[in-house]
Amino acid sequence: MSAAAAITVRLNGEEREVAADSSAAQAVDAWRRDPAAPYAVSVNGEHVPRPRLAARALRPGDEIEVWTLRQGG
């Protein structure tokens, strides 16, 4: 493990500590329990398409939202 300090972000409304050099992809992958479930991610209110998540470095206070399919009318 590098000496990078941990930073705090919020993921779906809950605070999480991640390594300071984490990408959004790493944080999201660590959090998802069902790899088969479809999902899409936003960071600070902006949709970040999945192919770009690995390149999105996290900063302290980032708000990550992982969305999936729900019932709707």
Partner 1 sequence: MAEDADHFAIAGRRLASRLLLGTSRYPSPAALADCVARAGPGLLTVSVRRSAGGGNAFYELLKEAGPPLVPNTAGCRTVAEACRTASMARELLGTNWVKLELIGDDETQAPDPFALVEAAEQLLREDYVVLAYCTEDLALCTRLAPIGSGQGLNHPERLALLRQRLAGSVLVVDAGIGRPSDAAAAMELGYDAVLLNTAVALAREPAPMAAAFRAAVDAGRTAYRAGIMPRHDMAQPSTLAPDIPVERYHPHKETQTQ
Summarize as ranges the residues that interact with partner 1 (CB under 8 A).
12-13, 31-34, 36-42, 45-47, 49-50, 65-73
Shortest distance, position 45 Cβ to partner 1, whole Å: 7
Decide whether 3 or 15 has the Cβ nearer to partner 1.
Answer: 15
Shortest distance, position 26 Cβ to partner 1, whole Å: 16
Shortest distance, position 2 Cβ to partner 1, whole Å: 27
| CA 56 – CA 70 distance, rounded (Å) | 26
CB of 58 within 8 A of CB of 9?
yes
Decide whether 26 or 42 has the Cβ nearer to partner 1.
Answer: 42
| CA 39 – CA 24 distance, rounded (Å) | 14
| CA 22 – CA 72 distance, rounded (Å) | 34
